[in-house]
């Protein structure tokens, strides 16, 4: 397939522009930003008429649009949240969600998508970290932190994803859960806080970045979770043998082969017959977050894989470690 590299947004093909407009998010929720990051995630976009769009959307134009977005994000002076950066991420996520399933296989077969996807995942990881860092500081320093949290544009998205995850976990936990580790908690550890609240269980926040942990600790403390432990460790060599459940964030292990190496380590570092909930992605959503190769998880008993059919972006893989005998 020939990819028309180098178009600017002024030259976006009409069918892609149509997708963007269909997925335009309503404004006016008290914030002007519309970035759809962390969203480990969901958006509030409406469903698409796939019958019409299957005819209208061509794989090469989607790839061109993704490439253009990647170049524009690359050219941004910083990925800190702000109107220009928010707009680019907003377009990216809306595009990913809007492309009809019927086109996705062809897009994913194109060799160009591997290169563009790798770059976009890197940019998304940086953008998400910047967004979380900015909001963590806002919440931790606010006079009324809970009121500030309510201003976070994607609070509901976090809640919806966490509810999905808690539901998946409940399907596997046969005994009372006593301890949870959230690996890759990030500066704004809302998912971990929701899980702690929903399961009424202590959650250790694990991250390899001490600055992310400082920010996460301040947010947890200010929101009334003073007892959560902060653990500075790399998923690639952490000891996780004291937990009943380990949650692995989507952005832990983004480089080539890294996710697999981390999953291999966790299989031996977790307690025998403990539960792993690992965030993944499928289809075109893998340009935002890395996919887990479930077939390669031979050291685990894979219990279920949930691919949302709504606008939640992350899939989740639920697995149990072996008995260790």
Could you tell me which residues come within 8 angstroms of residue 54 by beta carbon, excluding any fewer than 6 positions away? 100, 102, 103
Binding mask 261-290 for ligand SAM (x = CB under 6 A): ------------------x-----------
- Beta carbon nearer to ligand SAM, 235 or 318: 235
Q: Is 244 in the site for ligand SAM (CB under 6 A)?
A: no
* Cβ nearer to ligand SAM, comparing 193 with 252: 252
What is the chain's length?
Answer: 325
Sign, Cα dihedral of 4, 1, 283, 126:
negative
Binding mask 187-226 for ligand SAM (x = CB under 6 A): ----x---------------xxx--x--------------
Q: Does residue 301 sit in helix, strand or coil?
A: strand
For residue 164, state whether it binds ligand SAM (rule: CB under 6 A): no
Alpha-carbon span 163 to 167, nearest angstrom: 6
Q: How far is the CB of 152 from ligand SAM (least distance, A)?
A: 13
Q: How far is the CB of 266 from ligand SAM (least distance, A)?
A: 11
| E runs forming strands in the chain | 180-183, 203-207, 230-232, 245-248, 275-280, 300-306, 315-321
Regarding 36 and contact with ligand SAM (CB under 6 A), the answer is: no
d(CA 137, CA 251): 21
- Part of the chain binding ligand SAM (CB under 6 A), chosen from 23-31, 84-92, 183-191, 266-274: 183-191
Residue nearest to ligand SAM (CB): 186
Determine if 38 is a binding residue for ligand SAM (CB under 6 A): yes
Q: How far apart are CA 211 and CA 68, in angstroms?
A: 32
Q: CA torsion angle for 97, 154, 191, 229 (degrees, to 10)?
A: 140
**Distance in Å, CB of 235 to ligand SAM, minimum:** 4
**Of 195-203, 249-257, 296-304, 316-324, which segment contacts ligand SAM by CB under 6 A?**
249-257
Is 22 in contact with 48 (CB distance < 8 Å)?
yes
According to CB under 6 A, which one of 192, 193, 228, 235 is a site residue for ligand SAM?
235
- Distance between CA 310 and CA 305 in Å, rounded? 15
Minimum separation from the CB atom of position 19 to ligand SAM (A): 25
Report which of 205, 216, 62, 80 is spatially closest to residue 139, judged by C-alpha positions. 216
128 binds ligand SAM (CB under 6 A): yes
The encoded tokens of residue 2 equal 């020939």
* Structure tokens given for 125: 């990881």
Q: Which residues bind ligand SAM (CB under 6 A)?
A: 38, 40, 128-129, 132, 183-184, 186, 191, 207-209, 212, 234-236, 249-252, 279
């Amino acid at each position: 397939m020939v990819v028309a590299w180098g178009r600017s947004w002024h030259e976006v093909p009409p069918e892609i522009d149509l997708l963007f407009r269909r997925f335009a998010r309503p404004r006016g929720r008290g914030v002007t930003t519309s970035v759809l990051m962390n969203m480990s995630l969901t958006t509030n976009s409406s469903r698409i008429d796939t019958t019409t769009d299957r005819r209208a959307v061509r794989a090469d134009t989607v790839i061109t649009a993704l490439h253009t977005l990647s170049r524009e994000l690359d050219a941004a002076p910083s990925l800190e949240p702000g109107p220009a950066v928010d707009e680019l991420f907003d377009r990216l996520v809306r595009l990913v969600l809007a492309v009809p399933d019927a086109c996705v296989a062809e897009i994913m077969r194109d060799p160009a998508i591997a290169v563009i996807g790798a770059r976009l995942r890197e940019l998304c990881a940086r953008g998400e970290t910047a967004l979380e860092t900015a909001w963590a500081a806002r919440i931790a320093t606010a006079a009324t932190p809970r009121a500030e949290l309510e201003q976070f544009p994607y609070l509901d998205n976090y809640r919806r994803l966490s509810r999905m995850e808690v539901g998946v976990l409940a399907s596997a936990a046969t005994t009372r859960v006593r301890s949870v580790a959230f690996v890759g908690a990030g500066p704004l550890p809302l998912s971990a806080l929701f899980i702690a609240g929903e399961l009424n269980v202590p959650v250790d926040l694990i991250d390899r970045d001490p600055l992310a942990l400082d920010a996460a600790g301040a947010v947890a403390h200010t929101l009334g979770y003073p007892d959560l432990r902060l653990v500075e460790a790399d998923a690639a060599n952490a000891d996780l043998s004291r937990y009943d459940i380990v949650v692995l964030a989507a952005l832990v292990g983004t480089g080539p082969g890294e996710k697999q190496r981390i999953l291999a380590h966790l299989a031996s570092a977790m307690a025998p017959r403990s539960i792993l909930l690992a965030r993944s992605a499928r289809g075109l959503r893998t340009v935002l977050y890395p996919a887990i190769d479930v077939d390669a998880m031979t050291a685990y008993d894979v219990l279920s894989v949930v691919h949302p059919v709504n606008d939640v972006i992350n899939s989740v893989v639920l697995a149990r470690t072996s008995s260790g005998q």
